[in-house]
Structures are given as structure tokens and as C-alpha cells.
Amino acid sequence: MSEPLIFELSREGKRGYTFPECDVPESPLASLIGTRHLRREPAALPELAEIDVIRHFTRISRLNFCVDTHFYPLGSCTMKYNPKVNEKIAALVGFSQLHPLQPPQTVQGMLRLLFELEHLLCEITGMDAFTLQPAAGAHGELVGMMIARAYFARAGEPGRNIVLIPDSGHGTNPSSAALYGFEVQGLASDASGRVDVKQLGAALTPRVAALMLTNPNTLGLFEKDISSIAGLLHDNGSLFYCDGANLNALVGLAKPGDMGIDILHTNMHKTFSTPHGGGGPGAGPVGVKKKLAPFLPVPRVRRDDARGTYFFDGVGAGDSVGRVHAFYGNAGVLLKAYAYIRALGAEGLRQVALDAVLNANYLKELVSACFDIPYNSGPCMHEFVLSAARQKEHGVSALDIAKALIDRGFHPPTVYFPLIVKEALMIEPTETETKETLDTFARVLCEIAQAAEHSPGTLTNVTPHTTPVSRLDEVSAARKPVLTWCAESGREEKDSASGRQRR
Ligand SMILES: *Cc1c(COP(=O)(O)O)cnc(C)c1O
């Protein structure tokens, strides 16, 4: 990883391959191509030996920091190992070569699978019906807001335009609500890091459409008052939206639907076998209770029970919010989720949640002497949030610690989120890591904490040393990423190519 990344390898006159002289007459058809379409000058391609091309791309491919190479405790993202067999299943030609416009009678297997996945998700979450269309968690949130708006319009209450969101909420929550025209009102957390029920009660007016709550929340805490929260909302005629991205902590153990949730989004690309991050395809199915089912996007897959066949239903029907994705969603991601759920079964899924919570608590105990843990009144769920406030007194920030971890072979945790923790380091080990990995990570993290006190100069603004570029302009890297390189744009541009923290 430490060698400098040189992009401009081209040397004039070098050749990787030379074509033989053309020994057949030029086709008369060539004259049919207008001269303006014919190339007049050779293409400006890099000139170099074939082996150097191979080495260049292989070297770049190995710079990728991923779950398959390193521990990746990025809080809230559930970066767990996903069994490769699920990729193989999704790649079977019987699935991957389907065309979305094939007549339904020729794609019965795929329809059955989508139908069964919807019902498995209902079983797992306690919701009554799901749409599989949304492409991500944030997309699911938007669809949830569309459903809430449609529901209140139907109920003759279009004036309900406020969505309440706790200050520990994921950034996508207020964005999704605001994007769909709701007024966002924040709720401060109580001293334990949970929803302040009294404050919620005071905020409930006839204008409140919904509360958007993450459970377990982004501090890794279960919202213990969830039943009374649901009661308060329903007494006020409001809906209860749950951000279910943290389902990994509950799967197989507890059902959001039993907690009074009306609308729930889930992240297949966190909980059910697709890695999260990197901008790849995802799926954020949205589940609802019965009274909201008519508002779900269309088309929906249904079964003709008499014939035992599957079909698409309700194109543009009734109260539906309509289509929210081309065709039926990201089918490959849905397939992997289906394969994962079927392979693990109810017992296996339960074990996922138990081990995810056990690993997080084990790791929290190991590092608790080295860092402050602000909201720590008991065991956590699947993740926990450290504060580097103590280290910051010596000039070493959460960012410095994150960067120092890269040099030591670990992906950094999520930093500076949730916003209510100073110098936050949000750590989610997931169920797939071994005790040995957790032990090593804890030892390294505590060594960095010690270095922060005794030799802060080795950490402040200098790490990482082992990557092609060290400190990035993180804002430009996120807002104006340069993801390709071309000869004309020169060498500098490649430097800002990445560095985005995803949650
Ligand atoms: C990941 C996450 C989201 C957003 O999901 P995307 O698929 O990245 O859009 C929302 N809320 C929480 C709590 C999350 O962890």
C-alpha cells in the first residue's frame, strides 16, 4: 500500500500489441460510412507494455479497502462478511439473464421468489405488507414519507405536515422528510441518549404527521419506551415511522411491527447479504401495517391461489403512491437477501442478532478504560459510540485516531456521528468477526489512545503514512469526487479521488 501511485506510465513509441498488416481488400461497405465518422488521427491511448497495464490495474485493485481484506467497524453501516454463495446464486443465468419485460408466465420462479421474500420480511419484522422497490435506505425513507402524505390526504388531514426526528437520527431522516415537503422538528435526547418521552408528548400537535425513530438508535441503544411512544403518537392520530437500518441487532429476536410501528424501512444491503458502501446497488424494502397497504407502490407481486401462479398487480391502481423504481427494484440484491434468509432460517437469524450484540458489548468492555463512553448506562445493542474528548485535550482528534487505524490495518469507525457525542467514534463490529480480530482491534485502539497522551505529535495531522495520499480535503472529496483519470486533466486531480465516509 505504501508505494506511490504513479498514473502517467505512457512512453511514446511503446507498444503492448502490434496488429499484422491488413492482407484483405478493404470492404466496399466501408464507403457507406460517412467520412466524418472515420478516425483521421490515431486515438490518444496510453503507450506501454501489456504487463505494465496488468500491473497498473492489479495494483489499483489492491488499494481497495474492503471487508474481504480488513476489519471494517464502520458504525451504522453493518459492514459484515457476506457469504459468497449468495453472490453465486444471484448470478445463476436463470436469474441474471431475465429481462424485466418478459411475460409473467416465463418468469414464474422469479415472481415466486419476490412474493416469498415479501412474506419472509413480514414474518421477520411483524409488518403486514412490503414493497421491494426502493433502492436504498434513504429511498425507503422517502417512500415512507410519500405513503404518510398519501394516507393523511386520504384521511382528509392534509394539514399534518410536521415530522419529528430525534437529534440522534441519521442524516438521511431529516433530508427525506424535508425533500418530500414536510417540516422537520428536532427532539433532544434525554440524559440516557433515548427519546425524551415528556418532550415528545409536548411536541405532539394536530399538525404532527409522524415521528421518525431509529431503533436501536444511532447510539446503539434500544428505545425502551417504544410502546409508550407508539401510544402517544397513535392517540395523537400520528404515524410511527421506524428507520430499520439497524435491524441486525433485532433480527429473529424482536419485531418492530409488535412495537407499534406503522411504517418501517429495512436495508437489505446491511442486514441481509449485500455489502453496504461503495455506491453499489442496494435495496430498502418498506413495510407497512394493513391500513397503509393500499398506498404502497405498484406493481405488486401477487399469487393466484387457485392456479398457484404469480402475477403483477395494480399498475397505477387506486391509492398507490405509484412507481418508485424502474421495473421492480434491484432484483439481484433482493435475490441475495432471499438466499441469505433461507440459508440461515429463523434460528440462524436469531443467532446473527445475538452474536452482533455480544461482539459489540465485548469490544466495548475491552476499550472502555481507554476512551470516554458518554451514553453508557448499561449494555449496548449492536454498536457503541466512544468519545475521543480525553485524547482531544492532548490535541489528538477522533479524525487523527481514525487515520492512525488505517496505518495499523483497520478501516476507521464512523466519526463525528451521531452529532450529540463530542469527537465521536462509532463502532459496529458485527457478528461475523472473530474474538481474535476484536482482541487485536481493541489492543491497537488502546495503543493509539496511549500514544495520544504520551506522544501526540505522532498522530496529529500526520497519519496515515501507508496510503498513496494522506490527508484529503474531505469536503471536496465528498462533493466533487474525481473518479476517473484522463491524460489531459493532469496528475493532481487523482489525489482527491476518494476519502468519503459513508454511513
Ligand atoms: C445506512 C442508514 C440509512 C440510510 O441507508 P442507505 O441505504 O445508505 O440510504 C438510514 N438510517 C440509518 C440508521 C442507517 O444506518
Q: What are phi and psi of 164, to 5 degrees?
A: -90, 135
> How far apart, in whole angstroms, are the C-alpha atoms of residue 205 and residue 157?
13
Ligand 1 proximity of 137 Cβ (cutoff 6 Å)? yes
Taking the centre of ligand 1 as the mean of its atom positions, its distance from the CA of residue 452, in whole angstroms, is 32
- Is the pLDDT at 491 greater than 60? The verdict is no
Burial class (CB in 10 A: 0-12, 13-18, 19+), 469: middle
User: Given phi > 0 = left and psi -120 to 50 = alpha, else beta, which region is 292?
Assistant: alpha
Q: Which of 76, 79, 269, 324 to mutate to test the pocket of ligand 1 (most atoms within 8 A of CB)?
A: 76
Write the CA distances from 463 to 70, 212, 399, 402, 453, integer angstroms. Answer: 18, 38, 10, 9, 16
- Is the pLDDT at 292 greater than 70? The verdict is yes
- Is the pLDDT at 172 greater than 80? The verdict is yes
- Is the pLDDT at 160 greater than 80? The verdict is yes
Name the more confident of 57 and 338: 338
- Is the pLDDT at 495 greater than 50? The verdict is no
* Pairing state between β 263-266 and 208-214: unpaired
- Is the pLDDT at 5 greater than 70? The verdict is no
pLDDT at 477: 85
Is there a contact between 127 and 121 (Cβ–Cβ < 8 Å)?
Answer: yes
> How far apart, in whole angstroms, are the C-alpha atoms of residue 502 and residue 172?
12
- Is the pLDDT at 474 greater than 90? The verdict is no
Tell me the pLDDT tens digit for each residue of 108-159: 999 999 999 999 999 999 999 999 999 999 999 999 999 999 999 999 999 9
pLDDT at 472: 85
> How far apart, in whole angstroms, are the C-alpha atoms of residue 380 and residue 222?
8
Q: How confident is the model at residue 3 (pLDDT cuts 50, 70, 90)?
A: low
One DSSP character per residue, 224-292 reads: TTHHHHHHHHHHTT-EEEEEETTGGGTTTT--GGGGT-SEEEE-HHHHSSS---TT------EEE-GGG
Q: Which of 170, 179, 212 to mutate to test the pocket of ligand 1 (most atoms within 8 A of CB)?
A: 170
For the chain, the structural domain boundaries read 108-294+328-342
Q: Which of 141, 218, 243 to mutate to test the pocket of ligand 1 (most atoms within 8 A of CB)?
A: 243
Mean residue pLDDT of the chain comes to 92
Read off the C-alpha cell for 76: 451504522
3-state DSSP assignment of residue 464: coil
- Is the pLDDT at 498 greater than 60? The verdict is no
Q: Which CATH number fits domain 108-294+328-342: 3.40.640.10, 3.40.718.10, 3.30.230.10, 3.40.50.300?
A: 3.40.640.10
Average pLDDT (214-241) is 97
Question: Over pLDDT 90: what percentage of the chain?
Answer: 78
Q: How confident is the model at residue 486 (pLDDT cuts 50, 70, 90)?
A: low
> How far apart, in whole angstroms, are the C-alpha atoms of residue 157 and residue 415?
40
What pairs with residue 195 in β-bridges? 189
Q: Which amino acid is at 473?
A: D
For residue 164, give the H/E element and its range.
strand 162-166
Ligand 1 proximity of 426 Cβ (cutoff 6 Å)? no
Ligand 1 proximity of 170 Cβ (cutoff 6 Å)? yes
Average pLDDT (212-219) is 96
Q: Which amino acid is at 89?
A: I
Ligand 1 proximity of 73 Cβ (cutoff 6 Å)? no
> How far apart, in whole angstroms, are the C-alpha atoms of residue 220 and residue 379?
9
User: What is the pTM for the complete model shown?
Assistant: 0.89
Ligand 1 proximity of 243 Cβ (cutoff 6 Å)? yes
> How far apart, in whole angstroms, are the C-alpha atoms of residue 355 and residue 373?
21
Q: Which amino acid is at 368?
A: S
Q: Of 274, 200, 264, nearest to 234 (Cα)?
A: 200
Ligand 1 proximity of 136 Cβ (cutoff 6 Å)? yes
pLDDT at 1: 44
pLDDT at 141: 98
Q: Of 165, 147, 176, 168, nearest to 208 (Cα)?
A: 165
- Is the pLDDT at 482 greater than 90? The verdict is no
Q: Which atom belonging to ligand 1 lies closest to the Cα atom of 502? A: 8
Q: Which amino acid is at 295?
A: F
Tell me the pLDDT tens digit for each residue of 239-250: 999 999 999 999
Q: What are phi and psi of 242, to 5 degrees?
A: -115, 125
* Pairing state between β 263-266 and 424-427: unpaired
3-state DSSP assignment of residue 212: strand
- Is the pLDDT at 278 greater than 80? The verdict is no
Average pLDDT (292-298) is 96
Helix and strand numbers, DSSP H then E, in the chain: 14, 12
Highest mean pLDDT among 272-276, 425-429, 473-477: 425-429
Taking the centre of ligand 1 as the mean of its atom positions, its distance from the CA of residue 109, in whole angstroms, is 30
* 44-79 residues labelled b (16+ CB within 10 A) or e (exposed): eeeebeeeeeeebeeeeeeeebebeebbbbbbbbbb
- Is the pLDDT at 494 greater than 50? The verdict is no
How many CB atoms neighbour CB 208 within 10 A? Answer: 21
Q: Whose CA is nearest to atom 4 of ligand 1?
A: 137
3-state DSSP assignment of residue 122: helix
Tell me the pLDDT tens digit for each residue of 66-81: 898 999 999 999 999 9
pLDDT at 244: 97
> How far apart, in whole angstroms, are the C-alpha atoms of residue 137 and residue 233?
23
Read off the C-alpha cell for 264: 418501517
